[in-house]
Chain A
Amino acid sequence: MKIINPIKRGYLALEEWFNISFGPDWNPLYHLGTLTFFFFWVVLVSGIYLFIFFDTSLSGAYKSVDYLTHEQWYLGGVMRSLHRYASDAAVVTIILHMFREFALDRYRGFRWFSWMTGVPTLWFVITLGITGYWLVWDELGLYVAVLSSQLMDALPIVAGSMANNFIEGQLTDRFFTLMGFLHLLGQPVLLIFALWIHVKRLSHVEISAPRGLAVGSFISLLLLSFLWPATSHAPASLSKVPAILNLDWFYLNIYPLLDSLTAGQTWVLTIGITMLLMIMPWLPPKKTGAAAEVHLEECNGCGQCAVDCPFDAISVQARTDGARWEYEVTVADKLCAACGICVGSCHSSNPFRSSNKVLDTGIDMPQFPIDEVRSKTKRALSELHGDTRIIVFGCEHAFDVEQLKTPSVAVLNFLCTGMIPPTLVEYALKHGADGVFISGCRNGDCYFRYGNIWMDKRFNEGRKPMLRERVDRSRIAVFRAAVTDGRLIRRELAGFTQQITALNQGKTASAAQDIKHA
């Protein structure tokens, strides 16, 4: 039995708790990216409202925010609170999003790009929050301004001293206007650009959270905003030092470090942590399997694999081999995650074809070619004993189905269950299986993003290549289980076996009756 890393075990337990509370469709842990986007939307809309009333001058900023908070508490104040709390919530979801990718080992190998580009987006978000607090121009804003300037002064890029601006008599609107510009325009544009790069290597990227989650989160944000509205500190004063500051620890956690470290040391620490995070995908590196290979003899250029590829690794191009088809597909090896979902997308991956020859298909995985899939299925089925013969198809990233093997239960592991051609299920039922039981990563949590989704659509919603209508659905079960879900999947398989036994007995009984009738 594989040893499960305790971080992953802990994460999966949390995920399970959320599955109980929200169900897989709304499980927030499956939607941390989209949930973050949702919070960004709230921040954007509330921010636009605040901007309408905001006075971008040093002398007017505090008063304009104060007006919104107190006089216009019912709308402006709520908008301000939504702006603050949604920004804070976004930091929580971003950290959880990072933690999830880490805990489930989804940050190395072919995912290095998403991980590495994620790290700077985190900093863009944090610095966006910092300039936001600066703009309020209360004691906290001044504190942030002075300490940020001290940090900037430690960098060799800034000539002169920024911190010296915050001395009575020296202060001008110049800086403040710059911060206003950064917060209202510069930084958001930069963040959007960074996010675009962050998801560039993925296809079918969802950015809208499921409605249930969006509604729930919005209602709770709204309640929080009414119950504990965001407020300011006293106005900034250049001759007093606020003794106590109510720091927003999500955004301003770096500043208290300056009590014990110099600005230079603080930079070394932050840059060090950032670099460490960025090189994590290589600590240690993870090998991605061999990339998918196109076999033009079997490819008619339909492009279904290119549509289905979750990592945008397949593209359609003009035919190069003179065949009668207009198009062909090609794989960018560097982008390929070796999930095999494309094999399941190709209608040539049909085990009923070329039954006496090697089975070749339009796109195949060198490490587990479709011909081997067919021969292994056939062999496994031929070795089954008993009256109820089941074959279990599993995936390498979910519960290890090898543990379910018995004389009457055969098992076969795939790179991803999205790799299973629907015709293979039909094939198994025709070649000795009484039932086909398919596992895979938990619903909503496919290691390769779309394996589960495409499989369900091929089986039930007519997505190509589809599972034919006439295949007996009562002999097929899908139950998805993570590595820690052994008890659940065993129970489910036992139930399925009983169901198949009953079906078999029914069949025998009706066959006996047919004979009697005859």
Chain B
Amino acid sequence: MLSAKRLVLQGINYALFMGLVWYFSFSPPYVRLAADEAMISLALSHAGKPVQECRRKSQEELNKLPPNMRVLEECPRERSPVRIEVLVDDQAVIDERINPPGLYKDQGVDVYHSVKVPVGDHRLEVRMNDNIRVAGPTHHYHQSISLSAADLLVIQFNHAHNQFLVK
């Protein structure tokens, strides 16, 4: 079964097979970022403001309710969509409008988005509107940044301070 000729031929076949396995196990290399590129990631969780103000119920309305359900205010559950723009040197690199998820559109939105930007000094601007009742941005951030190759700049939102956190 195993003549010298077959042994050689099998050796060639195994070599070809393992060569294929070896090569595609790591190559061709995948260039995620060119040598002069860095990355900006927007990663935030944020809940938009309710679409309407809470409304104070009139005494008449309250009287109609059973005593244990007489809550003074009626607040709508639906939240505003969140519009968020990231501008690098006044060019929009991210521009998203995310509707709140949930059956009653009452949940917070999550955004994760990465973009490649050239290395060097830039003017970064982030604008967000989380309230449908307000025209224009409700939150604004701008800063000069300097990115070197392979840097990752992450834009988050700090709820405690109600402002963007960029690092």
Contact = CB atoms under 8 A, between A and B. Distances in A.
Interface in A152-211: 153, 160-161, 163-164, 167-168
Interface in A260-300: none
A217 B14 contact: yes
A161 B13 CA distance: 47
Interface stretch (B53-61, B68-76, B78-86, B147-155): B147-155
Given A28-B13, A89-B21, 13 more contacts: A20-B9, A21-B9, A85-B22, A160-B45, A161-B43, A164-B44, A168-B154, A168-B167, A220-B17, A241-B32, A242-B32, A246-B30, A249-B25
A243 B34 CA distance: 6
Contacts of B39: 241
Contact of A25 (B1, B20, B110): B1
Contacts of B31: 243-244
A212 interface: yes
Contacts of A20: 9
B151 A241 contact: yes
A220 B30 contact: no
Nearest to B38: A241
The 8 lowest CB-CB distance pairs between A and B, nearest first, are: A161-B110, A163-B112, A21-B9, A246-B26, A220-B14, A243-B33, A249-B24, A247-B30
A23 B9 CA distance: 11
A224 B34 CA distance: 31
Contacts of A246: 26-27, 29-30
A224 B22 contact: yes
A440 to B, nearest CB: 22
Interface of B: 1-2, 6, 9-10, 12-15, 17-18, 20-22, 24-27, 29-35, 37-39, 41, 43-45, 110-112, 149-152, 154, 156, 167
A364 to B, nearest CB: 39
A241 B26 contact: no
A516 B26 CA distance: 82
Contacts of B2: 212
Nearest to B167: A168
Nearest to B12: A21
Interface string A429-466: 00000000000000000000000000000000000000
Given A241-B33, A243-B33, A21 B6 contact: yes
B157 to A, nearest CB: 11
Contact of A85 (B21, B27, B154): B21
Nearest to B102: A159
Interface in A198-237: 212, 216-217, 219-221, 223-224, 228, 230
Contacts of A110: none
Contacts of A247: 26, 29-30
A25 B10 CA distance: 13
B26 A248 contact: yes
A398 B165 CA distance: 71
Given A22-B13, A84-B25, A150-B112, A143 B18 contact: no
Contacts of B26: 246-248
Interface in A55-101: 84-85, 88-89, 92
A243 B150 contact: yes
A11 interface: no
A28 B10 CA distance: 11
A491 interface: no
B166 to A, nearest CB: 12
A239 interface: yes
A88 B26 CA distance: 11
A88 B23 CA distance: 10
A250 to B, nearest CB: 6
A101 B25 CA distance: 25
A256 interface: yes
B29 A163 contact: no
A216 B112 contact: no
A22 B6 contact: yes
A15 to B, nearest CB: 13
Contacts of A219: 14
A240 interface: yes
B112 to A, nearest CB: 4
Contact of B45 (A18, A84, A161, A248): A161
Contacts of A238: 152
B24 A244 contact: no
Contact of A212 (B1, B30, B32, B112): B1
Contacts of A84: 25
A219 B10 CA distance: 12
A515 interface: no
A408 B149 CA distance: 82
A512 B15 CA distance: 61
Interface string A404-420: 00000000000000000
A245 B149 CA distance: 15
A228 B32 contact: no
Contacts of B29: 244-247
A20 B154 CA distance: 59
Given A240-B150, A242-B150, A244-B31, A220 B1 contact: no
A378 B26 CA distance: 64
